[in-house]
Structure 1
């Protein structure tokens, strides 16, 4: 009983794998026939994937190259109609050429190259090709890439290869192409900070007037009659000190756009408090009998 169950399980797995498994495109009854007008160069080659042609084929004027085969599903052996069927002519010295292959609904396909009426795309080449058969059925079956061999056209059929833009000859003494300097672009430069030397110089210049004032104050202090100034004078001096402190901080860490709003505001306040302080001092002087 256990043996029969195992056998049924194995049969079920094989059946499931055959359903889920993805087939592949294959070919059968593939052959290459080369015919000529005089019959001297006629030859027939039987192909079996993945074996290529036994030797390169050189066509002459008036000869014909014919590739015929049947496209099948390798898992079932039935004929299929692919969505894409092409023969790739790889030119080692130039551009490749891809030509479509005629396919019937039952999977029989063929392509013919007649040197008496060659395809225009083959004329503007070097004439020597590596042939590759390309068959695809999109997502239904695995595609086929089959290198067939080498084929050459008679040189008398070929046309001059048109020069491309980059094939122009260089000027005398100059290469056609040369390395150019790499271009760099900086969207935003890093902010620059003021060095300590400039900061110290700025502090010295800022404090220099106060040093001169203190030096002169010692000389004129004996002749001065000190009186208690009005409160507006203290406010004015406090605002001036705030301006000096703001300039000092600006030299250390602030940016100009940080300084200007505060500096303008303190300047307006200093102007107003200075006018008020001067008025009160003038009023005191006039009251004490001083000159107006």
Structure 2
């Protein structure tokens, strides 16, 4: 019993197919002289060729019917597929089918639909696609359509930025010629030695008298000044600014007190109060 039911269901499924009847097309030229021909859509490649110009209108009409009842059927989906075998471009145009199964489509080349793919001199294969939950899907070849070639797409001003650019080749200047190390060392020594030699020579020529420079009252002040010089040297070598400020604040306080004591001792010496 189950086998009989399965056979009946299979037979019903095979019988539930769609067909296209009364298919025809007409080309209306700018002069208003239509040329109408009938079509025989099938699953095999069609030998029908249709040519339309820039000012022509292609009118297509057909009716979708049930192959068993021969009654009009409104499929859930109906599309026209325009396919260019040469470029691989395709466009899908939805078709509105009435409840009676009748459908019409007009292709006006003066205002072509956006779904029409860009074309060259090759024809577009026009295929009718039908789909419904209750029927077997159908793919029916209609004709080969020749239409005027598309104009080339305008070049975007930024298109060149999306292509591979030529490799950049840098030209570097030759490294500068350095003098010999002996010459560099000689001039570096002159820069370091000459100022100090000049200072010492002038100092000896003046002959300053500093008999109390290393006295117990003056030596702390002299040492604090030397500590400041050493702090600046350490800052130049490895210390950070925060460390220099911290150490400098402490040395500043010490230098102020030692300096005041040194000045007081010198003043007492001049006034004769200190022996």
Query: With structure 2 as the length reference, what TM-score do the two structures score?
Result: 0.48
Query: With structure 1 as the length reference, what TM-score do the two structures score?
Result: 0.46
| Greater gyration radius | 2
